[in-house]
Amino acid sequence: MIHPSRQASALLGLHTNATFYRDSLFWLFLALGPVVWTLMAGFVQLQPLPWFQVWSPALLSLVFWQPVIEELLFRGVIQGCLLHTAWGQKRLGYLSLANLVTSVAFSLAHMASHLLVWSILVLAPSLAFGILRERYDSVYPPIALHVFYNVGYFLLAGGGALQGYSMK
C-alpha cells in the first residue's frame, strides 16, 4: 500500500527530477525567455531597474515567491488533478487537455492584476510550464523556468512592469 503522503506528493509533482537540466526541450524553453520578455515588454514601457531596487522585497516576491506559489497551485494541484482524469490525459501533440485547461485558468487568474493583453500573452509560457510539468512528472522544472522568465522580464521592464502589474 502506498502511503497517502507519497500519493499526494506524486499527484502534486513534488518529487525531484534531477535530469531536467540536461534536456534540450528545457533549454529551448529557457532560450525562448528573451523572446517572451521582448513580446511582453512591448506592452509596457521598458525601464530597467536601478541596482538599489533589484533587491527590493516587492521585486523578490514577484520573481521568486510568486512563481513558486503559482506553479504549486496551477501545475501541482490543478494540472496534477486533471491529469488523473481520462479527458485530462487526451493530447494534441505535446499538449494535454489538462495543460490547456490549466493554462487558460492561469491566464484568467492574471487578469486580476494585469492588463488584458498581458494576461493573454501569459498563455504561451504557461503552456510551456505545463509541458515541462508533464514531461518530468514534477513541478520543479516549471518553477525554475517561471522564475527565470520573471527575473528577466521584471529586470528589463522594471518600473513599467511593476506599474503595469497593478493595473487592471
Q: Scanning the structure block, which residue is given the C-alpha cell 512528472? A: 137
| Residues 54-82: b if buried by 16+ CB within 10 A, e if exposed | eeeeebeebbeeebeebbbbbbbbbbbeb
Does residue 134 register a pLDDT over 90?
yes
> Do residues 95 and 83 touch, judged by C-beta distance below 8 A?
no
Provide the pLDDT for residue 53.
73
Give the global pTM.
0.84
For the chain, the C-alpha Rg in angstroms (whole number) is 16
The mean pLDDT value for 89-98 works out to 94
The mean pLDDT value for 138-147 works out to 94
